[in-house]
Amino acid sequence: MKRKVLIVLLALLVAGCGQQVVVQQVDIIPEPVFMVQKEGTFTLHTNPKVSVLNVGQNSATVKYIMKSLRQQHLRPKLVAPSENYDIELVLYDTLNMELGDEGYLLEVRQNGIRLSANTETGLLYAYQTLAQILPQSSSDIIYASITLPECTILDYPRYDWRGLMLNVSGRALRPKEMRRVVEAMAAYKMNRLSVDGGRWTEDSLLWVVDSLTSYSKGEMDEFMVWAGEMGVKIVLRDDTVVQNDSAGVVLMPDDCWALDCYQADMRYQPEANEGVQTLGKAYQGETFKRMTAEATGHGQAVAGGEARLLTDCIGNQSETEYMILPRLLAVSEVLWSPEEKQDWSRFRRKVEEHKLRLGQRGYNYCEGSFTPQFEARRVDSGTMNIAIGTEVPNTYIFYTTDMSCPTRSSAIYIGPMNLKRGTHIKILPVYKDKERDSVYEFVIK
């Protein structure tokens, strides 16, 4: 009896020490088809009741969701279908044609959270969206309560095939590395991991292909179940453009989605393959759009697209993550979100929040490109109006125009300014109180 009392007291003490957090803003990547935030709220406590309807409590999807909630330092409990729930997981009795196989409806109501879909895959994506609404937990942060804004999100993908191709001719990826890649893909609703069957260790093959009978079937089944509950399908192939008779072609635009290329000024980046493909270039996806227009112009349907990662310049797991993130988020939004919902200014703001989330989950990622971007407008024959920015929001720009090297004591850029043609401007980017990429020099022409 004394032990039970002690356990209860310890539980109350832990709950009392937990933080209370109120989520103010919902930043989802990829941007949903429809989202509206309302005035009400719902508060989720540490012991949420989870109700399931038309889906088995022992299904891979429900098990994954329950495990993920526990990783958020919550203690979820499955309960019978009823009105008394905190989170409800529902598969429709009648097919919702608008949502298709991967779409979902997420509703944060004043009396609970409801995730509904036609399929378990849709239910999984609904949860991935909920996970982005919840504050990211870490080992030193436990929430006693989480107050969420009342909102409705209806969502489904623009393209069926949203992939990443790993070419491992340079270095085989280990199982743990593969798991981390798949987890990142699943979090942002990417659904195809293509591998080229190149230099794989036996263990890695066990984690990738379920049809190689020369290996242990039990090991392969374990991986495929895990990959399946993450909503990511493994595809073994080596094509750069895939023909899928039922859905159309899958495009791989190497000059905007080659994640093995530099993603910022190569002077200040780890070794990578030739070319610079920044987060902004990945998000604009100009080559993907051109290839799509060409394919449809020839009467071909486009199933979707893939980013590519060659491992010849990559030495370890940390470097793999660095090359993929956060550019994978840009590819995700291009392939999932309606074109009219894609907005670079909004996306780059959202990425700042998601970089924090990725960091809390232990991922290594690139902060972004700090190469100054100029917009010049002619004022008169000898003067130009210059606007300066970088890809990364909240970057401070210190500058000089007297040939001296800029420091944090130099003038700080606060908005467009008029400069004479021939002015030699030197720029020092500072982000999160760190000097980035040394000094850039330009001459105003």
Q: Give 319-348 as a DSSP string.
A: HHHHHHTTHHHHHHHHHHS-GGG--HHHHH
- Asked if residue 32 lies in contact with residue 155, where contact means CB atoms within 8 angstroms, the answer is yes
Give me the pLDDT at residue 195, please. 80
Residue 3's pLDDT band, with cuts at 50, 70 and 90, is low
Q: What are 265-271's contacts with CB under 8 Å, separation 24+? A: 265/369, 265/370, 265/371, 265/437, 267/437, 267/438, 268/436, 268/437, 268/438, 269/366, 270/313, 270/319, 270/322, 271/313
Could you tell me the residue ranges of all domains in the chain? 13-155, 161-357, 373-443
Could you tell me the two tokens for 13?
């003490």
Give me the pLDDT at residue 66, please. 96
* Residue 206: strand pairing partners: none
The CATH superfamily of 161-357 is: Glycosidases (3.20.20.80)
Q: What is the pLDDT of residues 129-145, one digit of tens each?
A: 999 999 976 666 778 89
- Supply the DSSP symbol for 174: P
**Collapsed DSSP state (helix, strand, coil) of residue 215:** coil
Q: What is the pLDDT of residues 323-359, one digit of tens each?
A: 999 999 999 999 999 999 999 999 999 999 999 999 9
Give me the pLDDT at residue 17, please. 58
Q: Smallest Cα–Cα separation from 302: which of 288, 284, 286?
A: 288
Q: What is the pLDDT of residues 224-251, one digit of tens each?
A: 445 557 888 877 665 444 555 467 899 9
pTM for the structure as a whole: 0.89
Q: What is the pLDDT of residues 43-67, one digit of tens each?
A: 999 999 999 999 999 998 999 999 9
- Asked if residue 261 lies in contact with residue 276, where contact means CB atoms within 8 angstroms, the answer is yes
Give me the pLDDT at residue 320, please. 93
Is the pLDDT assigned to residue 204 strictly greater than 80? no
Is the pLDDT assigned to residue 318 strictly greater than 80? yes
Architecture of the domain spanning 13-155: 2-Layer Sandwich (3.30)
Q: What is the pLDDT of residues 372-430, one digit of tens each?
A: 999 999 999 999 999 999 999 999 999 999 999 999 999 999 999 999 999 999 999 99
Architecture of the domain spanning 373-443: Sandwich (2.60)
Q: What is the pLDDT of residues 4-34, one digit of tens each?
A: 444 444 444 444 457 899 999 899 999 999 9
What mean pLDDT, rounded, does the chain reach?
Answer: 87
Could you tell me the two tokens for 402?
């007297």
Could you tell me the two tokens for 140?
């030193």
Give me the pLDDT at residue 174, please. 76
The residue-averaged pLDDT of 136-163 equals 89
